[in-house]
Structure 1
Amino acid sequence: MTTTKERALDAAICLAGSQGIRAMTHARVDAAAGLPKGSTSNHFRTRDALLAGVIARIAEGERADLAPAARGPIHSIDEFVDVFTAVVTTLTGPHADRTRARYALFLELSSDPELQAPLRAQRAAFAELARILLAGLGAKHPDAAVEAFMAFGDGLILHRLTVDPGAPVRRSVAIAVRGCLEA
């Protein structure tokens, strides 16, 4: 069963992802979550506390999405492509609002390194996982490969979130992975 705190965080993520960070007020979160007035502020006294809670909730959800990639070694390029196609499809489909909220938070909090730290840590963990997997598949230059792959992934995700939600994923991921392994 979802707790009041989780309902508030999920509603805040949906607001931020669909209407922007400025829409994420305590009162609007209460209304969006169907909670009595003041419920969100009981758990998150300040805006910074609410932002920190949202960031932690986003990270928790994304770790769950990445679990298939982190479950163990990936032995083939096709398996790598399948896993990351599923991740991109999930981030831009069922969890599009959460992904939009993450990007919005990155931008909004660029002048607040303390609040942005968990977002950067989450990204660093994902990049390290991708680097290990690319190296395991024979990337000649794993550090350069992961930089290129992460940039490609951000571009594909933003494209699907903003321009073409139905843009194909697997073929693009396959091309990018093969290019990262060869470079």
Structure 2
Amino acid sequence: MSSTRRRALEAAVTLIGTEGIRALTHGRVDAAASLPPGSTSNHFRTRAALLAGVIEWIATAERSEGGFPVVVVDTADDLITMLERALELESGPGATRTRARYALFLESLDADAAAPLRRQRRIFEEWTRAALVRIGGPDAAAGTHMLMAACDGLLLHRITVDPEAPIGDAIRRAVTAALSV
């Protein structure tokens, strides 16, 4: 990937994550990335192409950084630790990207454009289901959606209301509940 394309995508994620989806224009991305005018449109001819590029960029970054689905957990404590780490990363150093991802989920009415984000979500869902089954047996799979919803709620709370909100006890309770479904 060219350095110009990478800089444009990183700037686009920052713009969306800090100023909202309406801030995403070719000119604003060029300015935010310190690129000559027209550089972003050379790589992404339309706003739709730029949105699709940003969506793919976020999904790729999350796959390479998050450890999912590579990390294997064998105990409830391992799962709790992994989820805490993931939520701390996504609501701390990765908060801007998390906000951008949520904005893009809401904005992406085109199922094809949002496919990379949905695919990423399915990967995490499959990883979570497999972890619950490995720890608690086949019946534990029924707790997958509840556990993911609890983590989504905690993450949303941290990136919108209280970045320092404690999450350990809530994650422990959610994992315990998921394993006892």
**TM-score between both structures, scaled by the size of structure 1:** 0.93
The runs of 4+ residues in structure 1 deviating greater than 4 Å are none
Distance 1:73 1:21 in 2: 35
| Residue aligning to 2:171 | 173
Runs of 5+ consecutive residues of structure 1 not aligned to the other structure: none
| Residue aligning to 2:15 | 15
| Residue aligning to 1:127 | 125
Cα RMSD, aligned residues only: 1.6
Distance 1:60 1:177 in 2: 27
How far apart are 1:70 and its partner, in Å? 2.7
How far apart are 1:65 and its partner, in Å? 3.0
Runs of 5+ consecutive residues of structure 2 not aligned to the other structure: none
| Aligned 8 A contact 1:139 1:145 in 2 | no
Distance 1:70 1:35 in 2: 35
| Aligned 8 A contact 1:13 1:97 in 2 | yes
After superposition, what is the alpha-carbon deviation per residue over 1:63-107, rounded to whole angstroms, capped at 9, x for unaligned? Answer: 12321x533431211111111111111111101111111111111
| Aligned 8 A contact 1:140 1:181 in 2 | no
Distance 2:120 2:25 in 1: 24
| Residue aligning to 2:152 | 154
Pair 1:30–1:169, CA change in 2 (3 A)? same
| Residue aligning to 2:83 | 84
Pair 1:72–1:99, CA change in 2 (3 A)? closer
Q: Does 1:105 align with 2:122?
A: no
Pair 1:64–1:171, CA change in 2 (3 A)? farther
> Aligned with 1:159: secondary structure?
helix
Distance 2:6 2:112 in 1: 23
| Aligned 8 A contact 2:26 2:38 in 1 | yes
| Aligned 8 A contact 2:132 2:141 in 1 | no
Distance 1:14 1:178 in 2: 36
| Residue aligning to 1:163 | 161
Pair 1:139–1:88, CA change in 2 (3 A)? farther
> Aligned with 1:74: secondary structure?
coil
Distance 1:179 1:142 in 2: 9
Distance 2:4 2:140 in 1: 43
